[in-house]
Each structure stands twice: as C-alpha cells, then as structure tokens.
Amino acid sequence: MRGLLLPFAVTLLGAGSVHASAADDWALLGKAAAVARTQPLAGSYLHQVGSAAETFRIERAQAHGKVRERRVSLDGLPREVIRNGDAVVSAGPDPRALQAAKASSVKLFPALLPEGVDALQQGYTLTRLGQSRVAMRDCQWLELKPREAGQRYALRLCVDGKSHLPLKTMTLTPQGQVVESFSFIDLNLNVGKLKVDVKPAYKLSAKSSAQRAAADTPTPALELRGMPAGFTLVQAGERRLPGDEGAAPVQHFVYSDGLVMLSVFAEPGAQARTTGAHGYGALSVVSDPEGDYQLTLVGELPEASLAAIARGLRISKKP
C-alpha cells in the first residue's frame, strides 16, 4: 500500500505548478531576488562545488537604511566577508586566506539573482517544479533553464513559502548534474534588532562592491564582436590576468546575460599562442588565439560552450 501512495504523494507536491501562470512565476522570482538582498536573518549554509564543501555563518540586519551583513567561514581557511550597504570587505589572517575570502565574496548567497529578473526572460525560461523542505521550512522549486539548450547552465532555487527567501540553489549542467549548490542548514528570520558588526576581525582586507559596475568605455579602444545574443557589456578596462599579478595589464571585458558573468581578457602580442580549456565546478577557463591577441575567457558556462564562444570572437581596434 505504501508503494502505491508514494507516487500519488509526489504528484500532489507538484500539483501547485499546474495552476500558476508564467507571469506568476516571474513575479515570484522577482520577490525572491529582492528578499535575498534585504531580509534580516541569522543562520548557516553549506556551499558545495563538486566534492568540496564549506559551511558559513551569516548574520544580516538593516541599520540607517543600509543592509549590514557578516559571513564567517566555519571550516577551511579562516575568513570573513562583510557587507555594509553596497560596500563589501573580504578579510583574512594571511594572504592565502584573503584570496579565499575574495573568492567567497563573488557569490553572496542567498543573493545570487540580479535585481531586475525580467532581463533574464530573453535567455531563460522559468518553470515551477515541485515543493520541498530546506532548513525545516517549506519551499517551492523554480528552475531557470537556458533557451539555447546545452549552451548555459540551468539554475534551480527553492523559495521559502512565507518570506520568498531562496533557501537552496543548484547549478546544473545540460546533462542535469549539479556542479555547485548553496543550502541553508539552519535559519532564523525572527532576529529582532540584530546588531551586525561591520569591522573586520582580521588585519588583511580588500574592498569591492555588491553592485555590478556600469559599462565603461574600453581603454584602449578595442571592439569585440561575436558575443552570443543576450550578453551585454557591463564593464571594460585594463587589469592583470588572475594568477599573473606581476605581468602588465591586459584589456578586460565583462559581459553578462543577467545571470552569468563572462570575462574576456585580450593580451596583445602574446608569446605563447595556445588553445586550451579547464574548469572547476561551474567555472570554466578557455584560451584561444585571435589575430594579434591571445584571448582568455573565464565564466560560469560549460567548457564546450565557452570554447565555442572563444572561437567565434573577433577583436580589432576601433577606427
């Protein structure tokens, strides 16, 4: 009898999605994106990339119209990431820990969605899946799936039924494999007048911003053509290649489709004209020569997709 009831129960869990319209789903996603940035809370979450996993403690409050947030690693290298309004500070006791803190600051779970989710409709479809339970709270699964099958990762998130806070997210390959996930382990949304200290506990720190920079004029004036539809330029300038801090700065372009950030480094007159690809979790890195430049692409895209983008790019100086 139990075996007969189980499929019926699973069907009931997914039944709510039948009556929800696409507009309702996008509205829910918009609420989730807003709440993910501002909801006062205290709890801990698990961040998993492949077989590697780390846990973090997070506290968030609002004071004087600003969001004040502190997250501290509970295992691995000791580090913390502090947010005070739009300002983000990464801190650690030594250079290696500071680098790890900077890496942790790239994704400030649960705030993984852009502020304006409507822009995602050009490149993604949104589907309401079944319901689940995370950190002792009921939640509704939503899935953002790329319209171009196999070209980008899908994102699933389980949204709290009461607060609309994303409780868990999963990044999936085109084959449905989870390459990265965030999930609350314990969560308290009734934090009252929680006070969050925004002074770093470690001597080494680095500043960044929680807001994506607006597009600047590339310097020097280079033109990059062949980027897939949906990706727009959000920033351009000069910077050093990651892991090669002693080298001269190279031209750097940052593109986004609203969900994925894609960096393109253009190194002129490179000595080594190489082609290669490797990845870590959802992150892929591809190098490919193009004319007088060596292009290095870094982004959360499948390796094959990123390699195809690299082969299709053309770069030249603006007239």
Question: Of how many residues is the chain composed?
Answer: 319
Instruction: For the domain covering 15-209, report its CATH number.
Output: 2.50.20.10
Query: Which of the 8 DSSP states describes residue 94?
Result: S
Q: Which two tokens stand for residue 177?
A: 């494999």
CA distance 86 to 208: 9
Q: Which fold has domain 222-317?
A: Phosphorylase Kinase; domain 1 (3.30.200)
Q: pTM for the full model?
A: 0.82
Q: Are 266 and 288 in contact (CB under 8 A)?
A: no
Region at 231 (left for phi over 0; alpha for psi -120 to 50; beta for the rest): beta
Q: Are 135 and 184 in contact (CB under 8 A)?
A: yes
Q: Any idea where the domains of the chain sit in the sequence?
A: 15-209, 222-317
With H, G, I as helix, E, B as strand and everything else as coil, classify residue 310: helix
The tens place of each residue's pLDDT in the chain, 319 residues long, gives: 444 434 433 433 444 444 568 888 999 999 999 999 999 999 999 999 988 999 999 999 998 889 999 999 999 999 999 999 989 999 999 999 999 999 899 899 999 998 889 889 988 999 999 999 999 999 999 999 998 878 889 999 999 999 999 999 999 998 999 999 999 999 999 998 889 999 999 988 888 766 654 444 445 467 888 888 888 888 888 776 665 555 667 888 898 888 888 999 888 875 555 565 566 678 889 888 888 888 899 998 988 888 998 889 888 876 6
Q: Are 269 and 318 in contact (CB under 8 A)?
A: no
- Edge-to-edge strands of the sheet including 166-172? 124-134, 137-146, 154-160, 166-172, 178-188, 41-49, 52-63, 66-73, 80-84, 87-92, 204-209
**H-type alpha helices, 39-120:** 95-104
Q: Nearest to residue 305, comparing CAs of 222, 215, 231, 241?
A: 231
Q: How far, CA to CA in Å, does 51 sit from each of 178, 180, 304? A: 11, 9, 22
Burial letters 93-102, b for 16+ CB under 10 A, else e:
eeeebbbbbb
